[in-house]
Amino acid sequence: MSSREEVLGRVRGALGAARGTAAAVPRLYRRRLGAEEAETRADVVALFTERVADLRATVRHVSADELGTTIAAALWGREAKRIVVPADLPYGWLAELEGVRALADSAVTDAATLDAVDGVVTGCAVAIAQTGTIVLDGGRAQGRRALSVVPDHHLCVVHADQIVGTVPEAVARLDPYRPLTWISGPSVTTAVEQARVPGGNGPRSLEVLVVDE
């Protein structure tokens, strides 16, 4: 008998009759926000706004009618000349752009070109008030994962009805088989000599536009 077989035999012996049965997973974590955090739908949206700002992202509220103008103003403010967008981004989001070239993600096939653009505009799949997190799953208006990882500036549109209170609520809305990207503020790392370095694993700048219902 080899050492491997001996170890596995001991494991099987220790498991006994329980072998092959699924162990019970304790679910003692909170699934929803408490009344002290949010009592109404408006409270959930307000908490999300607060947490996103705490993470050093820029966040502002706009109406659906103001969205195109606000996106254009945000890009002009950064003196953006060329951006990349998902091919299925709603037309109205970019309807007010002048002097900014919007490339469809399908036209940007190499990382160098993607890295050279001035920013990216996407939507999201869901957002979490408790943690200020935005989740992309490659669905409508989100494009491929590289769009939210390579460009230095990410402008993300979040509709108020996409905001949930907690992580368990978000997970319930998501398909685990899709490519999920969880974003909590601009990218930063302290992996090298504990020095804070922005943009280590993604955009240095995150701008969030919350479209109120």
Q: Is 126 a member of any domain?
A: yes
Q: Which two tokens stand for residue 187?
A: 């990218």
Q: Is 167 a member of any domain?
A: yes
CB atoms under 10 Å from CB of 181, counted, come to 21
HSE-CB at 6 with a 13 A cutoff on CA atoms is 3
Q: Are 105 and 145 in contact (CB under 8 A)?
A: no
CB atoms under 10 Å from CB of 111, counted, come to 11
Residue 17: pLDDT band with limits 50, 70, 90:
low
- Over pLDDT 90: what percentage of the chain? 63
- For residue 113, list its beta bridge partners: none
The whole-model pTM stands at: 0.83
Q: Is 165 a member of any domain?
A: yes
By CB neighbour count within 10 A (0-12 exposed, 13-18 middle, 19+ buried), where does 67 fall?
A: buried
Q: Is 4 a member of any domain?
A: no
Q: Is 7 a member of any domain?
A: no
Residue 201: pLDDT band with limits 50, 70, 90:
low
User: 182 pLDDT exceeds 60?
Assistant: yes
Domain that holds residue 74: 33-211
Determine the average pLDDT of the residues in 74-102.
93
What is the distance between the alpha carbons of residues 135 and 146, in angstroms, rounded to a whole number?
14
Q: Is 207 a member of any domain?
A: yes
User: 29 pLDDT exceeds 60?
Assistant: yes
Q: What CATH number does residue 197 fall under?
A: 3.40.50.10420
Q: Is 13 a member of any domain?
A: no
Buried b (16+ CB within 10 A) or exposed e, 134-172: bbbbbbebbbbebbbbbbbbbbbbbbbebbbbbbebbee
CB neighbour list of residue 145: distance below 8 Å, 6 or more residues apart? 136, 138, 179, 181
Q: What pLDDT does residue 158 have?
A: 98
What is the distance between the alpha carbons of residues 142 and 137, in angstroms, rounded to a whole number?
7
* Region for 56 from its dihedrals, namely left if φ exceeds 0, alpha if ψ lies in -120 to 50, beta otherwise: left
Q: Is 97 a member of any domain?
A: yes
> What is the count of structural domains for the chain?
1
